[in-house]
Amino acid sequence: MLIEGACHCGNIGFALDWPGEADAIAARACDCSFCIKHGGVWTARPDAALRLQLRDPQRVSRYAFGTRTADFLVCASCGAVPAVVSRIEGRLYAVVNVNAFDSLDPGRIQRAPASLDGESETARLERRQRNWIGAVELVEGA
C-alpha cells in the first residue's frame, strides 16, 4: 500500500510504501513536549520504505533536542513536522507523522500513547534500528 503525505504547504512530502493492506496502522502519540506542541503521532515499521522529498531544502529546519540523535524535519514555511530522521551507524532511519497523511482513511490509524522518558541513548538507538523505517531515500530539490 502506498501512503502519501506532506507538510501543509507541500514543501516536505513523502511516499510511504507500507507492506500489505493492513486494517490498522499503529501510531504512537509521544508525550514529549515537542510532539505535544506539534501534534506528533508517529508510525513506522522496519519492512516499510520511505521516500522523503524536500522541494526547497532551504525551507526545511532540522530540529534536534534531548539526546540530539534525531532530526525533526520542520517546514520553515508552514511549521508542520511530517517526519523525523535518525542516522545510526551510517544508515538513515525515519518515522512519519500520521497527521501528515494525505489520502488514508483516518479510521485505519490506531493511536496509542507513548512515553520514552528515561530511555537511555543506547536503548533509544537500538529501538530505532529495530522499529523505524530502515529503507529511507532523501531527495532534495524539485
pLDDT in tens, 6-59: 999 999 999 999 997 767 899 999 998 899 999 899 999 999 999 999 999 999
What is the reported pLDDT for 137?
Answer: 97
Residue with cell 507513548: 114
Residue 49 pairs with which residues in a beta bridge? Answer: 17, 135
Q: Which CATH class is domain 2-140?
A: mainly beta
Cell of 37: 506542541
Q: What is the distance between the alpha carbons of residues 2 and 16, in angstroms, rounded to a whole number?
A: 6
pTM: 0.93
CB 48 within 8 A of CB 17: yes
